[in-house]
Structure 1
Amino acid sequence: MLELAADLVPLLDAGVPVAAVTVTRVARSAPRGVGASLAVTRDARVLGSISGGCVESDAVMLGLDVLRTGGIRRARFGFTDDGAVTPIAAGLACGGAVDVVAYRLDETMRPALEDVRAGREATLRLDLDGVPLELHHAAPPRLVILGAGEHAAALCRLGAAAGFAVTVCDGWALLVTRERFPDATELVVAAPHEYLAGLPSPDARTAVCVLTHDERLDVPALRTALRLPVGFVGAMGARATVARRAALLRGAGVTDAELSRLHSPLGLDLGGSTPEETALSVIAEIVASRNAAGARPLRELPGTRLHLIADDTAPESSCAVRSA
């Protein structure tokens, strides 16, 4: 539910009644995990999702019932433990099941929602008819883009859409504008290496991408970035540029161990050429690196073909929905 904070806080401000339906348990496999939520207003406006779409209508009806009658409602969507089939709905297409709880939002939830909307980590602890429910939302991962050209603008758009808090830094104020980067969390006019030297709280969830296209800026920025405890450092450039830049970095004192951390040329080979296609390849490489994934097509991998939340302890049975 916390992931919907940007939409839920304005509804609370306006006094709009809202119910949330939150996943509390996953059996076998499901498209989303524990904590995933869908919210619904009394006039059936729907925010978020608890599955790939296969049980959303039943979740909406559960939420509307809570808004109509009050109280707490619980249900299971998917396979039942005893194999009985109910006429309520088809279950999850992936063959699993999720337990959910539906409840009405109130003002006690506002502080956690406000924290998430502001980009801060937050934990919400609820007591739903004596059953505790804890929802945690980590601060978003950070993407630091150095350079403010067209590729940077495309990377900012896709990075924000992928859930990153995006910082764009360039020494040229004419380029670092809200009009060019409407989705950026932060805009910085500074020399890239100077900004990186004072980067607050760099960590493994921080990615730095150098797109300045100028060796006078690239080399000091990369030398600084490669010595930070960030999870990803990448730089755009053709292979000849990459080789020349590597020699310059070694000449500037960067060790081979530090240089081995550099992702350059930046991005996965998707065959694209536009700024948007290039940005997609960069985000794909960052995500693959963060998850230590091979970035191979799912159809080439053994087992399930979807990234599903799995719990193989649940028995096989008939696909159905069971309400508590």
Structure 2
Amino acid sequence: MKPTIAPFPAARPRRTRRTAALRALVRESRLSTDDLIWPVFVRDGEDVEQPVPSMPGVSRLSIDRVAKAAREAESLGIPAICLFPYTDPALKTEDCAEAWNPDNLTNRAIRAIKTAAPGIAVMTDVALDPYNINGHDGYVVEGEIVNDESVTALVRMALAQADAGADIIGPSDMMDGRIGAIRSALESAGHKDVAILSYAAKYASAFYGPFRDAVGASGALKGDKNTYQMDPGNSDEALRLVERDLAEGADMIMVKPGMPYLDICRRARDAFGVPTFAYQVSGEYAMLKAAAANGWLDGEKVMLESLLAFKRAGCDGVLTYFAPEAARLLNG
């Protein structure tokens, strides 16, 4: 679209910036609580709230506290919570069997949320790293992260989450073919209404560090994830992966990280016109929180500005640790 604008002084763009009311009338992108998905870390125990040092304001919560958080989300108008488990190291194994245990942390938390706040959509993470003694998203065989065997395990994990009542399955592993395999298994098991929000363009980023602390994967990780997560220099590849995941049955797609990859969000939305989300990851959150704590930035303003950037880039919503804080501000 090429805008038509009269020459000055007939055109004075400042006219519509003159008052708050005029600015509101012409605002192109808007942020609301409907745009927020709240990532929550769950751990064992009862009445536990364990702060994550590298993520100020974020804690690992026991399941009873997760249920309380779900009720808070519901009261704030946040439509969805995404669960990430902090797994006891003793349960991490080579075969990752805890990933599809019907009574693992994630599956118990799903059931607790559905009891406490049935109106909240529950999203889950599908990747083996919280359960893998090697810290990787897939199986490690002789130093190689193997694809097809990992997909088989991921399918079992997704089915266990669907059985527990998950509304949205979020494969974040970046194994080839996992969307088609999970979609086929869900259909065969009678879970035809469970949605897949695929991490279609997930980059091998340095912005994930605090998250790995939060789920206890930092110390376990051997090597890096460059053979399955995307090269940060690539954007055309991201579109190919989005197209593939949609063709295999994804209902929605994700770009991760968020702010450093807004160009990918815009390209994906323009190319496919499907529900598009971004993950404002732990490193992005930690940077803004640290700068605000030092008085270098206005924390509330940069938080809302950063979230609005996702809307401007074409996203329908964003996973963000700022969700409850932002929702309280948006609700006035």
- TM-score tier by shorter-chain length is 0.3 to 0.5
Normalised TM-score (structure 2):
0.33
Point out the structure with max Rg over C-alpha.
Answer: 1
TM-score, normalised on structure 1? 0.34
More helix by share: 2
